Structure 1
Amino acid sequence: MSTPEEEVGLLEDLVNDSVDHRGNPAVRSSTGGWRSASLIIGVEVAERFSYVGIACNMITYLTEQLGQSTANAAVNVNTWIGTASTLPIIGAFLADAYLGRYRTILGSSLIYILGIGLLTLSASLTLMGSSENRKPSFLMNVLFFCSLYLVAIAQGGHKPCVQAFGADQFDSDHPKERLARGSFFNWWFLFLSGGIAISILVMVYIQSNVNWAFGFGIPCLFMVMALAIFFLGRKTYRYPKRNHEKTNNGFVRIGRVFFGAIKNRKLMNLNKAVLLGEEGVEPCSDVDVEDAKGLVRLIPIWITSMVSMIPYAQYSTLFTKQGVTVDRRILPDLEIPPATLLSFVSISVLISVPIYEHVFLPIARKITKKPNGITMLQRIGAGMVLTCVNMVLAALVEAKRLRIAEEHGLIDKPNVTIPMSIWWFVPQYMLVGMIEVFDLVGAQEFFYDQVPTELRSIGLAFSLSALGLSNFFSGLLIIVVDWATERDGGHSWFNNNLNRAHIDYFYWLLAASTAIAFFVFVFISRSYVYRRVDQV
């Protein structure tokens, strides 16, 4: 028979609102924590290796293998990435309301493997039927894009759930584990960047120097490995309590709040007076009202974040196309593919995360006297400033590239290498890594933390959707600018001959829009009320 002290110790070792794989209350000492989180991080590293292996050089595949123009290829890449980043809203809803994060990840991984497998088949058939004067048939294009969008659908379930499931391994009510969860988002991004860097260096080389079938087939194998690793770790995970009625209540009660408010035409004045039910709708509690208010307050932050992320869409498209035109030799006999420069983004993250954790945060804590150093919104704002600076830098570098082309009489010789080293582009890629550490990671933690507990997959999907919609808007902006600058016989800013184009003007436009978004963001942030007082 256990003593009262032993019973208290046993209760303290149990994790609130979590169960183990058998459905029993989760024991802190044998489930969750960094051990389980590390397995989940490993799964996401493999997934990022696969996704980036497809995405990083996609614009090259579209222009060289499928014969698309630079503008059309950029729009197609933006649209695909946008879809992959927006669908998590649906995947997160299914996970939080019905399937649970674990089962959603398993199902999404199977769809992922199917999509990349068909993509590999498409590339193989394209290689078999390719010739200098022959473009892929309509059916080949259909197979390619169907395969590509299967991967986007898989992303919809995989992306919001894996990170949320990883964060679930830390108890937010336990002081040490709550701090560990804050570090989890940083180290999550660091290890992902390592996988991304390896993917870029290896897969771009294989795609450029071996063939595209291998370039897509290897990511497929990595996804098979990721699924196996994830399944083998199932006994160590903490699972949110899958009380179906309770989970659905998260949507039902929030929906009831907004339904009552809309009926009374006072959506922006959410209070108990307007939320009293009519025609069978039940009254809402104070918690329901506060949660609904919190979601409304997130919308302006989400919109400004989306606008500030539009420049992010250019890093894997226009940056890469610029790199094609310059001297890419890093050694006398070694020329690198332009997409390889994306590895500097990951290298920057690998450097920035430890500096952020071990240098920046300790200094910030001493200055602000806050456990978190800076607030999540301050972190996002810093990323916006860096984004604006990066667009200015990119515009200046592109203007220099155009001047060198003009000085050497290469304006109408797009296939001749411009005598400008590709190293000129490295600083803007390094800044992208710093932007990710501040803006993207900050946004993920913010939207995860600032929604009701049972809707946290939705919160992460909210963050991802901002990035996804920014890609859609980037594609739309390119279409509009291309049309506006090409009409009346002018040269488009996105002319296929980049020496006749003016991508630098486009970068200035993005710098200006980001600056405006930042000032609006600051205005909104000053009145934002956090759900938890320890974030202030």
Structure 2
Amino acid sequence: MGGELSGNEEAQILPDPAPKQGGWTTFPLIAGTLMGSSIAVSGWANNLIVYMIEIFHVRSIDATQTFNMAAASTSLLPVIAAILADSILGCYSVIWTSSLVSVLGILLIALTAMLEPLRPQPCQNGSGMCPTPSKVQFSVLYSGIALASIGVAGTRFTIAAMGANQFENPKDQRVFFNWFAVTLYTSLVLGATVIVYIEENVSWALGYCLCVAVNVVGLAIFLLGRRYYRHVKPQGSPFTSLARVIVATFLKRKVPLSSRAEDYYHHKDGPMDKRYSMPTKSFGFLNHAALETEGDTKVDGSIAKSWRLCSVQQVEDLKTLLRIFPLLSSGIILCTTLPIVSTLTILQALTLDRHLGPNLKVPAGSMIVFILTSTAINLTFIDRFLFPMWQKITHRSLMPLQRIGLGHVFNMTGMAVAALVESKRLKFAQIHHVSDHPGSIVPMLVLWLVPQLVLVGVGEAFHYPGQVTLYYQEFPKPLRSTAAAMISVVVGIAYYLSTAVIDLVRTVTTWLPDDINKGRLGNVYLMFAVMQMFNLFYFLICAKCYRYQSPEEGNKSNDESCEAEK
């Protein structure tokens, strides 16, 4: 798969020292690295709420909010790692450096479980008196969470971009993203079951030490595969050229636009047959940036004033980002489903009967495994059965926007089901007067929570790979690593949004007290379901008139169907 990238791609592939660089040969290495990182983060993060409540005596809703803030930061930071990978360091350096930071962070969390001075004393038996953690104890715990979050943020989505860089064929890239997601969710399942079970039933210290170990193994696999990867050489920050377009547009805002293609700067736009193409009419005001005026170019045709003149391609790259922004924004509310359902379900599980037999008790932190398992199974079903069946019936591929749309529907349905199940749980709690006896369990099996988790998992299987594929294919080529991280940015904003909404609900209503048996958690689920419904309408409007930028998808764009209907 070695060689040079075609077209006007600014990123260059370094010379291949070996004939078998890139391609599917590298997938086991990428998958092994991803598994190590994902099992580790799943092991410490999925049980973090329970750890903070039971070991550090943090109030339940506060622990949930802390987890959401950490998850939000983990999701927003990948864009910084992607920018560093695209512009300065390259994917390889960012991944191994981030993995080391992750190992250090998890080690600090493990130390709080291993060393008694780093955690508060247990609560007194038979009383609600629990020692408050000291500043040092909180500092070590939060430092570990911060470093571990930064580490996984710099690894997961950067390795997704690096894996896609091993392929030149868009079809191979789509298949890679699907199997990347299968590997990711399968790994998260292992962490949320095996390691979480060990933490709650054997030893917190042993569970966290296992997280450190698998992270180190993943890093070792990644480093051993260095000679087999195709490395993309960073070419400076692509955001500089986007900023230049904005500045040049402002400086030339009063210069009349021309109707002649040769009046626009095309010097670095690619092959000769594209040199004199007209800039597109959408966001036409940005075309001022590519309009040549006296003194803008040198005798040899190069740019004389870099902040006053840009190429047509640079202008079109910025337009591409503006066109995709409405779709990207619609993903924010879509992605609030996962943080809301996964965290609040843990609080529900802590109040329910979690025994599945005389000797097996489901850890509350493992409830997310139903989402992850559902996602992994449905990803395989979609790739092996749904895609071929869809293509056989319609003679067309299932487009990324169609996958995302189905994800909207399943996520909204999952929220609605969660509201119904919570109303049943609360009814049982009231009938048996559970709220009058602190620590009592609602006589209702925890498996009642499974349907809502499965539905959310199906939604994730549709929209998550769909969004990653859409952004990677549609973003300008110099922003490929950033594109792969955009879904993470969307998820991060969604976590912050869900945290803010929960704080607002706690302020203006009585729906979320510390004892959820005295609250109205079902109203919270229902509120988010309604938000999802309106967001679905917004997405459909955005998707209806979006034109795919990829030549392969362009002949099947929704925009063309809009024009055909006219």
Fold agreement, TM-score > 0.5 = yes
Separation in 1, partners of 2:547, 2:206 = 51
Separation in 2, partners of 1:446, 1:480 = 33
CA deviation digits over 1:410-464, x for unaligned, max 9?
A: 2323421111111111111212221111111111111111112221111122211
Aligned equivalent of 2:525: 507
1:230-245 aligned at under 5 Å gives the runs: 230-240=222-232, 242=233, 244=234
Aligned equivalent of 2:354: 328
Task: Summarize the Cα distance change of 1:223–1:263 in structure 2 as closer, same or farther, 3 Å threshold.
Answer: farther
Task: Summarize the Cα distance change of 1:208–1:13 in structure 2 as closer, same or farther, 3 Å threshold.
Answer: closer
1:521-536 aligned at under 5 Å gives the runs: 521-535=539-553, 536=556
Q: Contact conserved, 1:377 with 1:446, CA < 8 A, in 2?
A: yes
1:159, CA displacement in angstroms? 2.2
Separation in 1, partners of 2:159, 2:110 = 25
1:109, CA displacement in angstroms? 0.9
1:83, CA displacement in angstroms? 0.3
CA deviation digits over 1:3-42, x for unaligned, max 9?
A: xxxxxxxxx9735379xxx942477x61211120221011
Aligned equivalent of 1:4: none
SS of 2:456's partner is helix
1:44-193 aligned at under 5 Å gives the runs: 44-126=34-116, 129-132=120-123, 133-172=130-169, 178-193=170-185
1:484, CA displacement in angstroms? 0.5
Separation in 2, partners of 1:340, 1:270 = 52
Does residue 307 (structure 1) correspond to residue 322 (structure 2)? The answer is no
Separation in 2, partners of 1:307, 1:465 = 13
Separation in 2, partners of 1:338, 1:532 = 44
Aligned equivalent of 2:537: 519
Aligned equivalent of 1:437: 461
Task: Summarize the Cα distance change of 1:261–1:438 in structure 2 as closer, same or farther, 3 Å threshold.
Answer: farther
Separation in 2, partners of 1:210, 1:191 = 27
Aligned equivalent of 1:452: 476
Separation in 2, partners of 1:26, 1:275 = 39
Does residue 260 (structure 1) correspond to residue 227 (structure 2)? The answer is no
Aligned equivalent of 1:466: 490
1:18-57 aligned at under 5 Å gives the runs: 23-25=14-16, 30-57=20-47
1:365-514 aligned at under 5 Å gives the runs: 365-370=391-396, 373-485=397-509, 492-514=510-532
Separation in 1, partners of 2:548, 2:433 = 58
Q: Contact conserved, 1:71 with 1:478, CA < 8 A, in 2?
A: no
Q: Contact conserved, 1:205 with 1:337, CA < 8 A, in 2?
A: yes
1:357, CA displacement in angstroms? 1.1
Aligned equivalent of 1:16: 5
Separation in 2, partners of 1:428, 1:180 = 33
1:169, CA displacement in angstroms? 1.1
AA partner of residue 230 (structure 2): R
AA partner of residue 92 (structure 1): A
1:334, CA displacement in angstroms? 2.0
Match of 2:238 among 250, 257, 260: 250
Tell me the matched-pair count.
Answer: 505
Q: Contact conserved, 2:245 with 2:286, CA < 8 A, in 1?
A: no
Q: Contact conserved, 1:250 with 1:455, CA < 8 A, in 2?
A: yes
Separation in 2, partners of 1:462, 1:115 = 24
1:129, CA displacement in angstroms? 4.8
Task: Summarize the Cα distance change of 1:396–1:206 in structure 2 as closer, same or farther, 3 Å threshold.
Answer: same
1:48, CA displacement in angstroms? 0.5
TM-score (norm. length: structure 1): 0.89
Aligned equivalent of 1:272: 287
Q: Contact conserved, 1:160 with 1:460, CA < 8 A, in 2?
A: yes
Match of 1:316 among 336, 342, 346: 342
Aligned equivalent of 2:261: none
1:203-222 aligned at under 5 Å gives the runs: 203-222=195-214
1:274, CA displacement in angstroms? 5.0
Separation in 2, partners of 1:248, 1:96 = 7
Aligned equivalent of 2:257: none
CA deviation digits over 1:371-426, x for unaligned, max 9?
A: xx221111111101111000000000000001111222223234211111111111
Separation in 1, partners of 2:137, 2:148 = 17
SS of 2:444's partner is strand
Q: Contact conserved, 2:354 with 2:363, CA < 8 A, in 1?
A: yes
1:150, CA displacement in angstroms? 0.9
Task: Summarize the Cα distance change of 1:68–1:88 in structure 2 as closer, same or farther, 3 Å threshold.
Answer: same
1:365, CA displacement in angstroms? 1.1
SS of 1:420's partner is strand
Q: Contact conserved, 2:50 with 2:364, CA < 8 A, in 1?
A: no
Percent identity of paired positions between Structure 1 and Structure 2: 31
Provide the alpha-carbon RMSD of the alignment.
Answer: 2.3
Separation in 1, partners of 2:369, 2:120 = 32
1:315, CA displacement in angstroms? 3.2
AA partner of residue 207 (structure 1): E
AA partner of residue 121 (structure 2): S
SS of 1:206's partner is helix
Separation in 2, partners of 1:481, 1:298 = 32
AA partner of residue 99 (structure 1): L
Separation in 2, partners of 1:265, 1:349 = 49
Larger helix proportion, structure 1 or 2? Answer: 1
Task: Summarize the Cα distance change of 1:268–1:216 in structure 2 as closer, same or farther, 3 Å threshold.
Answer: farther
Task: Summarize the Cα distance change of 1:494–1:264 in structure 2 as closer, same or farther, 3 Å threshold.
Answer: farther
SS of 2:435's partner is coil
Task: Summarize the Cα distance change of 1:159–1:367 in structure 2 as closer, same or farther, 3 Å threshold.
Answer: same
Match of 2:309 among 250, 272, 283: 283
CA deviation digits over 1:277-328, x for unaligned, max 9?
A: 8976242222112111100112111111011111211233111110111111
TM-score (norm. length: structure 2): 0.85
Aligned equivalent of 1:7: none
Q: Contact conserved, 2:88 with 2:237, CA < 8 A, in 1?
A: no
1:180, CA displacement in angstroms? 2.2
